[in-house]
Amino acid sequence: MKRIDVTELQEKISNSAALNESLEVERDGCLVGYFLPIKKKDPEKIKAAIDRLDAAIEHALAGSTLTRDEFADLLDLSKPFPLPYDD
């Protein structure tokens, strides 16, 4: 990630080519923040990614006794992962 001075930030973000670049912003040599551009979303790419995820889930569940909800629950990182010997 490129580091720039805060005084350069306006010039950088006014350049449309720079809007694809993440930047570390500093003042007097000290890091004060980050510039993280928001990328435009392509609805067709999003739908294609969701369709691929759905197909992967179906493949993972084929022959399993898990429901989709149980599978999703296993992927919930806020919960401890159940180990095979947990009861």
- 7: which 2 tokens? 């005084």
- Indicate the pLDDT class of residue 2, thresholds 50, 70 and 90: confident
pLDDT at 43: 92
pLDDT at 69: 92
User: Residue 19 CA to chain centroid, in angstroms?
Assistant: 18
Which residues make Cβ contacts (< 8 Å) with residue 49, sequence separation at least 6? none
For residue range 27-82, what is the model confidence (pLDDT) as tens digits? Answer: 999 999 998 888 788 999 999 999 999 999 999 999 999 999 998 888 888 888 77
- Domain positions in the chain are 2-35, 43-74
Q: How far apart are CA 34 and CA 26, in angstroms?
A: 9
Residue 23 has pLDDT above 80, yes or no: yes
pLDDT at 86: 55
